[in-house]
Amino acid sequence: MKKVLLKIESLWSKGDSGEILRGINLKLGPGETQALLGPNASGKSTLAQVILGNPKYKIIRGKIYFLGKDITRFSPERRAKLGMALVWQMPPTIKGVKLSALLEKISKEKIETTEGEELLEREINVDFSGGERKISEILQTIALKPRLVIFDEVDSGLDIKKIETVAKIIKRELISRKIAILIITHSGQILKFLKPAFTNVLVKGRIICKEKNYKKILKVIAKYGYEKCKKCPFLAGRQ
């Protein structure tokens, strides 16, 4: 039987404004790269935050397993220690704290990378450009020596050249080291560089499609939008 790193079973979750995730089912193997596509407000970022244990979101029912352990009630730091990491779409600024100071605190060993060296002595995310934020996030993630990294909208706000650069770092530092990746993206632009094994489509808090060929999904979405996905006869769970 194929090994499972992350397993989400019938996960329902709510935030301040009500239910956001409505029965999510997802499996990710060790070292596997998957993508999660979805329209705005479909629950993509919420899913990422819930997987990492953000206390802002309440789990109504369902389970999250990581490395075979039920981590549904684990604190964010406990999940991080187990090897889960999130690259935030809009990370908060931490004034007065240099990136190097945080890396020193969280690093399991010294990071050898040339990207982002100029950011080390700057306050975390203060006046960072979109690209700088992504590099800073990836540096922190590498420092954690994770088993799974979730990228929340890693390609948003970047031009195609920057997306390619970020994808190269992800491939070199994570994918080539057999670290599992879940790429959350609205546009899907980064997928051609990362070539996910599976692409999931999330609409209104449910994963309605899981497909090996990411190009096929991108083509449908580009032509008809996510509306077509909703009508697709191969909805997840109905195949």
Partner 1 sequence: MAMKNVKNVHFWQVDNKIKNIIQVPGNVILPSAQAWRKFNWVKKYFDKEPKEGYFIWIKKQVDSPLATCINIASPKASQNLTNLMVVEKGIKVKSNVICSAIGNNLCGSHRARGKLILKSGSSLEYNHFHQWGQNDFVSPDYEFILEKNSRLIYNYKNSFPPKNLLLKTIIQSGEGSSSNLNLVINSLNSKVGILENVNLSGLNSQAVMKLRLVGRENSQTEAVSVISAKSPSRGHLDCQGLVVSPKAKMSLTPRLICQNKDAQLTHEASIGKISEEELTYLRMRGLTEKEAINLIVAGFLKT
Residues lying near partner 1 in the complex (CB under 8 A) are found at 52-56, 75-77, 79-81, 85-86, 88, 91-97, 101-102, 105-106, 123, 140, 144
For partner 1, which is the closer residue by CB, 105 or 231? 105
Closest CA to 230 of 38, 71, 34: 38
Least separation in angstroms between CB 154 and partner 1: 16
Residue 90 φ then ψ, to 5°:
-125, 80
Residue type, 231: K
Question: Least distance to partner 1 from the beta carbon of 125, Å?
Answer: 9
Shortest CB 45 distance to partner 1, Å: 13
Residue with smaller CB distance to partner 1, 108 or 238? 108
CA distances from 62 to 25, 27, 70, 77 (A): 9, 14, 11, 21
* Type and span of the H or E element at 44: helix 44-52
| Alpha-carbon span 54 to 76, nearest angstrom | 6
Smaller CB separation from partner 1, 80 or 235? 80
| Residue 151 C-beta: closest distance to partner 1, Å | 13
Instruction: Give whichever of 52 and 218 is closer to partner 1, judged by the CB atom.
Output: 52
